[in-house]
Structure 1
Amino acid sequence: MKSFTSEPMTDILSWAHNTLKESDTLTFEVLNPDFGRGHYAGETITIGEADYLYRSYKAWSDLGELLFCRMLTPKTVTEHTVAITYEKLDLSDSFHASEAKEEKYGTASRFAAIHKNEEPAFLSAYLRALRSVKVGEKKRILNLGINTGDEFDLIRTILSQEEYMNIELVGIDHSDSAITVARERFNEGNATFYVHDINDLASLNLGRFDLIITIGTLQSSTLEFKSLFASLVQEYLSKEGAMILGFPNCRWMGGEMIYGAKAPNYPYSEMSILVKDIHYCKKYLQQKKFRVTVTGKDYLFLTGTKIL
């Protein structure tokens, strides 16, 4: 087992990359982070005659994520050290690799195993966005790309029953199987779901909404991003309406949400398209007299509320 004491992170990263070329796992011994609580990464901690460079468990978890590995539970080696093991993720275990169309996100797909509301990085940012738009005061809410309804479920969870039942919910998705599940989950009478092409919203005669939510949908290659976004603001948002747009900055692989969206023609995460799309929406809404914030990490949430 490889041991690291005062070696810099550049050495550890290089060793890890080389080891993972030949093996699906790697294990190394380092200072137990519990002995350096409150220190920053790279600070020297002396124990007896040995000097260690401190790294927290968060730093080791981040390194595993960057290597496309999961970090297993550390094991005690000595009084002051632990063994950390990384295990390669199965990168083929991902809905991103599916060539299906309508049911790529259906109930039989790998996507159906994902529960974003159980990921703290997603949940915290989405909750902040919902509270920012004062979701409990809205009367009509539209969600594009609703799938089985998790985004509505969180609204139902954080509101009182009276507040929730006073809201008319409308969800649209192209997956028949996902919408079937959504209809079963939300049978209180205040939710309507459509299996429909988002490019053809006009044929549904939906009217206007106090809040429009769309998370991980607008950037689909099958949609005309700019024209669809403009039509949502101009034709479907009420005079005092608000918007919550969620832009994925992650990938789902091997049971993990991995930071950084995969860009075309790049072997690593590259954010130019993501930043460009967010900037476009932010600027457009500001020109329409919206107050706009951008929050989050693995999902970036653009929240727009009307300046009255």
Structure 2
Amino acid sequence: MNDLPDFSAAPLHQILDYFDNDSKNETPINFLIADPDLCRGYYAGERIDRNGQKLICRSWKAWVDLASHLGYRLLTPERYDKTRLRLTFESVTRERSFHTDNESDKYSSRSPFARIHKNEESAYYLPYFQALKRLEIFHRPRILALGVNRGDELEPILRFNPEAKVTGIDLDADALALAQKRFGPALTTHCLDLNRLEELDLGRYELILSIGTLQSPGIDMKPLMMELVQKHLTQKGALLLGWPNARWIDGELLYGARPKNYPFSELSLVIKDLFWIKKYLQQHKYRVVITGREYLFLEATKIGLSRKA
């Protein structure tokens, strides 16, 4: 215990240097920190004196964020003495992730992706549900869901708007079957490539929803967006679109999406897509807002029209 690194009074750059130089990143790393409960109301880096001991404050959120950014999970802390806790960072196993699967079955009902329940992650669910409320989902009876998979994003919609009718489109027939069984007659499904929507007689909808789909490499996003707005939205219709800005690895939701061939989070392509869509929708007299963090959500509603159908 006496050999534990003591970070209770260490500045952040010293802590980062330790992790950069540590060669045991596949085994849990134990160290001492100042008890965050003693630091309530203090900002990260503020110095306090407790029981004659000099401490540098950091909140629990600061330690959780550090673990996530470095690729670790934070285990349950243990009391070391009156002012310090023993903290353990355990390395996240990057091989345990659906991101490493083959593209052909990456999102299938038999893949690691099927273990993910986005609605149980507050970083995803809270901004998503808040967006649904701002879009007055209760007053949107016809909904088009693109890339619906097993329909997780439909659960809060149909829970609060049980009279809604949803058309769901996806390429994975097994996932669509699960969604159909889950939501019954409220959901009509089509197994189809989103680039071929013109093959369906879809009509128009009060809400078009697509979460984590538009960034897929096989989708021609710009013509798809133009087709959706011009042919499939009602006059009072709205859009809710989502892009992942995180990775699901070994049971953890880690902030920051990583494109292929990049060892770090890189947002330029997502930002480019978001602002192209925002500009296009604004040209068509939509009010557009972008929210979220681990998932980025774009909401669009028609300017000057009531959202109630």
Tell me the CA shift for residue 271 of structure 1.
0.9
C-alpha separation between the residues in 2 aligned to 1:272 and 1:134? 31
Which among 101, 107, 111 is matched to residue 109 of structure 1?
111
TM (norm. structure 2) is 0.95
Tell me the CA shift for residue 212 of structure 1.
0.2
Tell me the CA shift for residue 111 of structure 1.
0.3
Aligned residues: 301
- 3-state SS, counterpart of residue 229 of structure 1: helix
Contact 2:256 2:294 in 1 (8 A): yes
For 1:243, the equivalent position in structure 2 comes to 239
Give the ranges of 4+ consecutive aligned residues of structure 1 lying more than 6 Å apart after TM superposition: none
For 2:162, the equivalent position in structure 1 comes to 164
Asked if residue 181 in structure 1 is aligned to residue 178 in structure 2, the reply is: yes
- 3-state SS, counterpart of residue 95 of structure 2: coil
For 1:85, the equivalent position in structure 2 comes to 88
Q: CA RMSD in A?
A: 1.2
Gap change, CA 1:20 and 1:228, over 3 Å in 2: farther
Which among 115, 125, 128 is matched to residue 126 of structure 1?
128
- 3-state SS, counterpart of residue 38 of structure 1: coil
Aligned amino acid, residue 227 of structure 1? P
Asked if residue 279 in structure 1 is aligned to residue 281 in structure 2, the reply is: no
Deviations 1:197-227 (A, max 9, x none): 1111111111111100001001100111111
TM (norm. structure 1) is 0.95
Identical aligned residues as a percent = 42
Q: Which runs of 5+ in 1 are unaligned?
A: none
- 3-state SS, counterpart of residue 61 of structure 1: helix
Which among 192, 198, 204 is matched to residue 202 of structure 1?
198
Asked if residue 215 in structure 1 is aligned to residue 211 in structure 2, the reply is: yes
Gap change, CA 1:100 and 1:83, over 3 Å in 2: same
Greater shift, 85-94 or 264-273, is seen at: 264-273
Asked if residue 71 in structure 1 is aligned to residue 74 in structure 2, the reply is: yes
Deviations 1:215-241 (A, max 9, x none): 100110011111111111111111111
Asked if residue 293 in structure 1 is aligned to residue 292 in structure 2, the reply is: no
C-alpha separation between the residues in 2 aligned to 1:35 and 1:184? 51
- 3-state SS, counterpart of residue 150 of structure 2: coil
Asked if residue 227 in structure 1 is aligned to residue 223 in structure 2, the reply is: yes
For 1:139, the equivalent position in structure 2 comes to 141
C-alpha separation between the residues in 2 aligned to 1:21 and 1:265? 25
